[in-house]
Structure 1
């Protein structure tokens, strides 16, 4: 029976491993669980403790599979130094770029990430933000709370049939595209790596960055790589249509944050921000009081159901890979490492 080491604390295990997955783990593996004694420190509000890096070598010794998540220390090359290291790393979280060195991919180690499962939660967040801002719900909510009623001469807008500019065709973008299907939107996607064939499969049209930004709804789905840092510049923000809604749930450095806020504070644009540069942000009262701005603390992919499904999501693909070498949706393709989130 293959050996699996769960390299996260019991608190994190309770967050990402549901009871059904625990039973499956026990059926298919000899499982080594980290205990409270392996934590690096105490938990903080809303954040389970991390695993002590010094506990990793002993927990991982002899393991065929490493199950990881948030709070797992970076896995050093020394785990594979003798040529008999784990064959699989299954990450019950998102990006693996801060978890492993890509050199291990060249050594035949299969890596899996639950990023595509998190993407669905992010897609729901983006759809919710679009509808909330399109219907101007924060403004109407504010009016009621302060003794008002209907806003004379002021109406919200519909998403149905609207043009939506999607920057990046990542897994979060693809989840949103699926959710937008019933709305019959004109989905204009800018992504230099999106092929015509793939665009046709997704039911979208490829376009330029400038055209995508000429939309009443714009949503950003790019990784944090040198090519995307600052890609939505002050100049481009100035070219967005009046009353456009911009949503950033990807990475803060992708956009000139101050330029966007400048336009938000004039009332010209609406925005929903879940990511910032830096994090956490420090906004003054004028920003925090803007009725055309939604701010959330990097939680677009954070749902109760989504988190609890993460270990099961990657484990299903790991078992298929171990059984017959199949690459499921959570497989991390070494060829796409440079453009991955």
Structure 2
């Protein structure tokens, strides 16, 4: 029987592995589960000799030496998102097959982005605040519809693709800035390719780029200044992509409506002007965090792992080593 070691705490295993999935794993694999402490000794014991290593948030970095030894695992299945801090590119180059649940998390992120867009367009936080203060209808806060608007995505990552699918019923004019997106793939997605400056002309802008040297500071103060009054800005990706002070100033001035789920330092220390601004929705990095999404993560990656072990099929969760540098 194929051996599987879950290098995660019991609490994390309960979080990312539904009871039915746990039963399936234990019927299909010879499973060892991690304990409360994941020190170097326990991690080495779990990884050494296992055919498959199951990881998630909280799993320590897996040393390349462990993953390239004679009795190293064939597969690392990450029931979470990015694998960049978990495994080195050298280990992948040496033959370790890596799978990530990023595509599953992307669905949760896509739903968050759609919800944030609709919430801000209809001015729901401001209307909620008004009625709690004893008010009623606010003519100056009449909301807008999403249908037929121009939506621009910065990046064509898995989260962007999830949002694209969810936006289909709204008949929006959808455009994307992504230097890695081919014309053929853009046509498949049904999007227009535009420049970064053209993105700033959209009614709604949503950020979907990974954390790379290229994306840090990608949207500076000049581009933020080019956004049209009333623009809805959603950032569920990486805070460093945007010029933070310029975004705060645009919010303070009331020029834009924004939903911010990521911050350069987390938890953040936010300015009073941001905390009191009625035109911003602040959330604690939870765009990809849902009950159903977390419970499904192990099943998502392990379904693909079993297919790969059977016949080499590369499912949606397979991490292409050649794409690691530009992935989330």
Q: TM-score, normalised by structure 1?
A: 0.94
> Which residue is 2:305 aligned to?
318
Cα contact 2:123–2:141 (8 A) shared by 1:
no
- Counting only pairs closer than 5 Å after superposition, residues 198-237 of structure 1 correspond to structure 2 as 198-237=185-224
- Alignment partner of 1:297 out of 284, 298, 304: 284
- Give, in whole Å, the separation in 2 of the partners of 1:274 and 1:184: 26
- Counting only pairs closer than 5 Å after superposition, residues 322-337 of structure 1 correspond to structure 2 as 322-337=309-324
> What is the alpha-carbon root mean square deviation over aligned residues?
1.0
> Which residue is 2:43 aligned to?
56
- Give, in whole Å, the separation in 2 of the partners of 1:284 and 1:230: 20
- Structure 2: tracts of 5 or more residues without a match: none
CA-CA distance at 1:258 after TM superposition: 1.1
Tell me: CA distance 1:338–1:81, structure 2 relative to 1, closer, same or farther (3 Å).
closer
- Give, in whole Å, the separation in 1 of the partners of 2:40 and 2:244: 35
CA-CA distance at 1:77 after TM superposition: 1.4
> Which residue is 1:158 aligned to?
145
Size of the alignment, in residue pairs?
A: 328
- Give, in whole Å, the separation in 2 of the partners of 1:112 and 1:82: 20
- Give, in whole Å, the separation in 2 of the partners of 1:224 and 1:15: 26
Cα contact 2:230–2:257 (8 A) shared by 1:
yes
1:108 maps onto 2:95 in alignment: yes
> Which residue is 1:28 aligned to?
28
- Counting only pairs closer than 5 Å after superposition, residues 73-222 of structure 1 correspond to structure 2 as 73-222=60-209
- Give, in whole Å, the separation in 1 of the partners of 2:11 and 2:294: 13
- Alignment partner of 1:67 out of 54, 68, 72: 54
- Give, in whole Å, the separation in 2 of the partners of 1:5 and 1:192: 39
CA-CA distance at 1:285 after TM superposition: 2.3
**1:248-286 Cα distance to aligned partner (Å, 9 max, x none):** 000110001110010101111111000011222111322
- Give, in whole Å, the separation in 1 of the partners of 2:79 and 2:145: 36
- Structure 1: tracts of 5 or more residues without a match: 40-50
CA-CA distance at 1:100 after TM superposition: 0.4
> Which residue is 1:46 aligned to?
none
- Give, in whole Å, the separation in 1 of the partners of 2:261 and 2:140: 30
